C-alpha cells in the first residue's frame, strides 16, 4: 500500500515542484506512537486536504510541517530543505514562509480588524504607515471585506467575517504556504461555502500552497487537488477527489459512507 501511495503521489507531482514533502515521519509520545511513517507530497500552488477521524494525529502532523514538533525520525522538506533539526533563527526564518488560519480565527480581541491584519507587518517589517495601510486594505478587499469593517472588533463580526479577517492576516506577509486547522468546524453550510471560496481564492489569486486539516468531507471534495487520509499513524489513501471517492480501503470507505448516504 505504501509503495502504491508513493507512486500515485509521484505521478501527480512529476511536473509541479514539491513545496512540502513529508518522508517516513515517525513520532511517539510516551508509549503512544502517533505517526508511524507518514509520507505526503504537496506540489507547489495546490491544496492538499488531510482527512481522518478524531485522535488520528492530524494536528500533530501539521505541527511537524511548521517545526513546532520535531519527529523521532523521518524528514520534513519545505521547498526542498529538510527542517528537522533546525532551530533558532533558521527555524524562525523558515516560518516566515507560512501563514496559519486557526479554527476560531485566533484574532486579538483587544484589536480592531485593521490592527489585527496590520500586526504582522508592524512586527516583522519596517514599512511606513501608508504602506501598511495600503497592504491591509488590499488584503481585506481580496477577501471581500470593505473599509466599513476596519474599525470593528472581533466580537462584532460574524463567524464567516472572522475567518476572512484571519485569512487576510495570514496572507499579509505574502507567505508561500498556508496551513488551515479545521477551518469549517462549527460553521453553518453557507459560511462553510464562504470559507471554501476563500481557500480557493488564496490559491488562485496568490498562488499559495495550502494544507487543510479537516474532517469535513464535502468541503474536502470541493477545495482539494489532493486528499490524504490519515489512519493508524499512516497515510492509507491519497489522490485527487475523484480517485479518493473510489477507495477500496475499508476504513476510508467507512469514513465516507455517511457522506455518500447524504449525497443520495
CA distances from 222 to 143, 190, 217 (A): 18, 14, 9
pTM across the whole model: 0.87
Alpha carbons 127 and 247: distance in angstroms, whole number: 50
CB atoms within 10 A of CB 64: 22
Does CATH place domain 2-97+178-190+209-263 in 3.40.50.300? yes
CA distances from 244 to 62, 149, 230, 236, 238 (A): 21, 40, 13, 11, 7
- The residues spanned by each domain of the chain are 2-97+178-190+209-263
- Is 45 within 8 Å of 209 (Cβ atoms)? yes
Alpha carbons 113 and 140: distance in angstroms, whole number: 9
In degrees and rounded to multiples of 5, residue 44 shows phi and psi of: -60, 140
Q: What is the pLDDT along the chain (264 residues), one digit of tens a residue?
A: 444 454 455 454 456 799 999 999 999 999 999 999 999 999 999 999 999 988 899 999 999 999 999 999 999 999 999 999 888 888 888 888 999 888 777 899 999 999 999 999 999 899 999 999 999 999 999 998 999 999 999 999 988 888 889 999 999 999 999 999 988 887 888 888 988 998 999 999 999 999 999 988 999 999 999 999 999 999 999 999 999 999 999 999 998 887 766 655
Alpha carbons 75 and 96: distance in angstroms, whole number: 20
Three-state DSSP class for 248? coil
Alpha carbons 203 and 32: distance in angstroms, whole number: 36
Supply the pLDDT for residue 36.
Answer: 95
Alpha carbons 202 and 174: distance in angstroms, whole number: 10
Amino acid at each position: 500500500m505504501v509503495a502504491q501511495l508513493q507512486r500515485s503521489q509521484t505521478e501527480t507531482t512529476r511536473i509541479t515542484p514539491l513545496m512540502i514533502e513529508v518522508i517516513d515521519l515517525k513520532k511517539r509520545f510516551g508509549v503512544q506512537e502517533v505517526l508511524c511513517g507518514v509520507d505526503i507530497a504537496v506540489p507547489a500552488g495546490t491544496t492538499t486536504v488531510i482527512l481522518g477521524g478524531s485522535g488520528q494525529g492530524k494536528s500533530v502532523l501539521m505541527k511537524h510541517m511548521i517545526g513546532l514538533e520535531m519527529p523521532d525520525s523521518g524528514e520534513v522538506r519545505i521547498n526542498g530543505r529538510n527542517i528537522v533539526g533546525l532551530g533558532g533563527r533558521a527555524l524562525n526564518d523558515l516560518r516566515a514562509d507560512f501563514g496559519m488560519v486557526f479554527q476560531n480565527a485566533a484574532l486579538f480581541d483587544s484589536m480592531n480588524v485593521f490592527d489585527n491584519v496590520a500586526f504582522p507587518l508592524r512586527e516583522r517589517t519596517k514599512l511606513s504607515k501608508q504602506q501598511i495601510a495600503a497592504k491591509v486594505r488590499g488584503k481585506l478587499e481580496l477577501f471581500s471585506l470593505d473599509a466599513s469593517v476596519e474599525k470593528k472588533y472581533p466580537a462584532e463580526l460574524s463567524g464567516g467575517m472572522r475567518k476572512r479577517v484571519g485569512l487576510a492576516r495570514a496572507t499579509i506577509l505574502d507567505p508561500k504556504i498556508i496551513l488551515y486547522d479545521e477551518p469549517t468546524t462549527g460553521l453553518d453550510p453557507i459560511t462553510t461555502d464562504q470559507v471554501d471560496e476563500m481557500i480557493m481564492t488564496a490559491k488562485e489569486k496568490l498562488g499559495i500552497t495550502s494544507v487543510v486539516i479537516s474532517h469535513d468531507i464535502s468541503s474536502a471534495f470541493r477545495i482539494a487537488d489532493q486528499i490524504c487520509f490519515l489512519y493508524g499513524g499512516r497515510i492509507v489513501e491519497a489522490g485527487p477527489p475523484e480517485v479518493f471517492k473510489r477507495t477500496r480501503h475499508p476504513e476510508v470507505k467507512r469514513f465516507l459512507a455517511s457522506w455518500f448516504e447524504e449525497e443520495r
